[in-house]
């Protein structure tokens, strides 16, 4: 008998983590799987950050940390926000969490009442929808397509707003589409929100530094948006620190206080050694991690070039992050090597079984026509993976 709560029964398993686990399982069985499913840099954490962690261990940082983070780390984050985003925050406006994922979960718990609607431009990052639902909110998906570079327009935002709208959540650069909202595009969205002063914005900027062309823009830079925007960021991506589990927010202080309260009951402060290491990461010039961004750009170009020779894959040109999100609906309804492909999930499983390449179905991101390919893998792996994909389709 299933005695689990409705809350957990209704929660989906994270599709990105599930696919990564499945790929690991198949690898353990001896299958030569190429994992392009997980959004995790394949670089090592830079030495100057590792050295700071070793120093922190030797300096006996071993006690519980302040729930909202060490003051020195919050000060370094304030300096980072000023330097990179021209955003001015004070200490009570910063909360350090166990990854940006916890930061997002805190914000949802702090702001969502049952029945509140949260607008999610699609495709959105896999966990947004379930975090909203876990807090009894209602995700409202705004469909975009490859033809508009997967970006929500001001008119679409306007049309999605109802008296129940509480928030809008997006990531830019976007996981999974790699799209980047320009300052002008954000201004257009902000103009719509001007007419709706009780709507809040969660701007997830965790891929901020992995941006290949335009300048990074934060919606909180607009004076009229600052008081109702939560800016989310973290070190997992640009600093190759996924396992260290540090993320943070800059927010209006009443929201930050609520997140602090939530965290104080659920996890307490984030890990002491990781926080000390992240002080060093925050204080460093972003140019110190530019070598990873340069490599991601080379791989982005490589993936686009290789995919342009695979029939039935339609791509946009991602400007950031490390994903491509091809529309593969060309294959729906077809039978390939005896496999019936009804949808993106079938297609992604087909690639896993026939090409031994792990990707993630677009369904997990609210777009059923696409699959997500992470190019956080070596150029050799990318070439091998796309060659295998092509070979099993043509």
- Please give the residue ranges that form the binding site for ligand GLU (CB under 6 A): 14, 16-17, 38-40, 101, 126-127, 175
Per-residue contact flags (x/-) with ligand PMP for residues 111 to 130, judged by CB under 6 A: --------------x-----
What is the smallest separation between the CB atom of 249 and ligand GLU, expressed in angstroms?
A: 17
What is the smallest separation between the CB atom of 348 and ligand GLU, expressed in angstroms?
A: 13
The correct pick among 117, 130, 204, 295 for binding ligand PMP (CB under 6 A) is: 204
Residue 293 binding result from ligand GLU, ligand PMP, none, given CB thresholds of 5 to 8 Å by partner type: none
Is there a contact between 348 and 359 (Cβ–Cβ < 8 Å)?
A: yes
What is the smallest separation between the CB atom of 17 and ligand GLU, expressed in angstroms?
A: 5
Task: Look at residue 327 and give its three-state secondary structure.
Answer: strand
Residue 51, token pair as written in the block: 């050295």
Q: 249: Cβ–Cβ under 8 A, 6 or more apart, which residues?
A: 94, 95, 97, 103, 106, 107, 230, 231, 232, 233, 255, 256, 259
Whose Cβ is closer to ligand GLU: residue 111's or residue 376's?
A: 376
What is the smallest separation between the CB atom of 219 and ligand PMP, expressed in angstroms?
A: 15
Residue 38 binding result from ligand PMP, ligand GLU, none, given CB thresholds of 5 to 8 Å by partner type: ligand GLU
Secondary structure (DSSP) of 275-294? HHHHHHHHHS-GGGGHHHHH
What is the smallest separation between the CB atom of 14 and ligand GLU, expressed in angstroms?
A: 5
Handedness of CA 329, 36, 380, 301 (dihedral sign): positive
Residue 208 binding result from ligand GLU, ligand PMP, none, given CB thresholds of 5 to 8 Å by partner type: none
Options 98-106, 112-120, 142-150, 179-187: segment touching ligand PMP (CB under 6 A): 98-106
The correct pick among 171, 229, 263, 280 for binding ligand PMP (CB under 6 A) is: 171
Residue 247 binding result from ligand PMP, ligand GLU, none, given CB thresholds of 5 to 8 Å by partner type: ligand PMP
What is the smallest separation between the CB atom of 201 and ligand GLU, expressed in angstroms?
A: 20
Could you check whether the bond before residue 173 is cis, i.e. omega within 30 degrees of 0? yes
In 3D, which of 48, 91, 90, 100 has the Cα closest to residue 70? 91
Whose Cβ is closer to ligand GLU: residue 17's or residue 91's?
A: 17
Whose Cβ is closer to ligand PMP: residue 356's or residue 367's?
A: 367
Task: Look at residue 195 and give its three-state secondary structure.
Answer: coil
In 3D, which of 232, 213, 207, 155 has the Cα closest to residue 39? 207
Task: Please give the DSSP secondary-structure letter assigned to residue 238.
Answer: T
Residue 171 binding result from ligand GLU, ligand PMP, none, given CB thresholds of 5 to 8 Å by partner type: ligand PMP
Per-residue contact flags (x/-) with ligand PMP for residues 246 to 265, judged by CB under 6 A: -x------------------
Q: How far apart are CA 304 and CA 301, in angstroms?
A: 5
Residue 258, token pair as written in the block: 């609520």
Is there a contact between 312 and 333 (Cβ–Cβ < 8 Å)?
A: no
Q: Count the neighbouring beta carbons within 10 Å of the beta carbon of residue 163.
A: 7
Q: What is the CA radius of gyration of the chain?
A: 21
**Burial of 76 from C-beta contacts in 10 A (0-12 / 13-18 / 19+):** buried
Euclidean distance between the first and the last CA atom of the chain, given in angstroms as a whole number:
47
The correct pick among 172, 236, 263, 316 for binding ligand PMP (CB under 6 A) is: 236
In 3D, which of 152, 239, 254 has the Cα closest to residue 200? 254
Residue 234 binding result from ligand PMP, ligand GLU, none, given CB thresholds of 5 to 8 Å by partner type: ligand PMP
Whose Cβ is closer to ligand PMP: residue 255's or residue 356's?
A: 255
Whose Cβ is closer to ligand GLU: residue 40's or residue 117's?
A: 40
Per-residue contact flags (x/-) with ligand PMP for residues 31 to 70, judged by CB under 6 A: --------x-------------------------------
Residue 182, token pair as written in the block: 């320009």
The residues in 183-202 that bind ligand PMP, with binding defined as CB under 6 A, are none
What is the smallest separation between the CB atom of 232 and ligand GLU, expressed in angstroms?
A: 12
Q: Where along the sequence are the contacts to ligand PMP (CB under 6 A)?
A: 39, 99-101, 125, 171, 175, 204, 206, 234, 236, 242, 247
């Amino acid at each position: 008998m299933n005695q689990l709560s409705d809350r957990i029964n209704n929660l989906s398993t994270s599709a990105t983590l599930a696919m990564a686990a499945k790929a690991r399982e198949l690898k353990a069985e001896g299958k030569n799987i190429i994992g392009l499913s997980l959004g995790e840099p394949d670089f090592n954490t830079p030495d100057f950050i590792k050295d700071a962690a070793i120093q922190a261990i030797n300096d006996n940082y071993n006690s519980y940390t302040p729930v909202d983070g060490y003051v020195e780390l919050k000060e370094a984050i304030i300096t980072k926000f000023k330097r990179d985003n021209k955003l001015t925050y004070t200490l009570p406006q910063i909360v350090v969490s166990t990854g940006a994922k916890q930061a997002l979960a805190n914000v949802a718990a702090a702001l969502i009442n049952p029945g509140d609607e949260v607008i999610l431009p699609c495709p959105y990052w896999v966990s947004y929808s379930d975090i909203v639902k876990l807090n009894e909110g209602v995700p409202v998906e705004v469909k975009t397509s490859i033809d508009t570079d997967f970006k929500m327009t001001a008119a679409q935002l306007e049309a999605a707003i109802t008296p129940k709208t509480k928030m809008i959540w997006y990531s830019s650069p976007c996981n999974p589409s790699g799209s980047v909202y320009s300052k002008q595009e954000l201004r257009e969205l902000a103009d719509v929100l001007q007419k709706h002063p009780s709507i809040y914005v969660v701007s997830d900027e965790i891929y901020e530094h992995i941006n290949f062309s335009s300048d990074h823009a934060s919606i909180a830079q607009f004076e009229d948006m600052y008081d109702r925007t939560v800016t989310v960021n973290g070190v997992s991506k640009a600093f190759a620190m996924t396992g260290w589990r540090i993320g943070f927010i800059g927010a209006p202080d009443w929201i930050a206080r609520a997140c602090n309260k939530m965290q104080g009951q659920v996890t307490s402060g984030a890990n002491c050694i990781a926080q000390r290491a992240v002080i060093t990461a925050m204080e460093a010039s972003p140019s110190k991690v530019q070598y990873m961004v340069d490599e991601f750009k080379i791989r982005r170009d490589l993936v686009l070039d290789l995919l342009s020779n695979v029939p039935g894959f339609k791509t946009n040109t991602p400007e950031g992050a490390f994903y491509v999100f091809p529309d593969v609906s060309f294959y729906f309804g077809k039978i390939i090597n005896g496999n019936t492909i009804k949808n993106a999930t079938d297609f992604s499983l087909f690639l896993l079984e026939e090409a031994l390449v792990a990707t993630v179905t677009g369904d997990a991101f609210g777009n059923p026509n696409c699959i997500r390919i992470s190019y956080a893998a070596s150029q050799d792996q990318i070439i091998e993976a796309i060659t295998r994909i092509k070979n099993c389709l043509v």
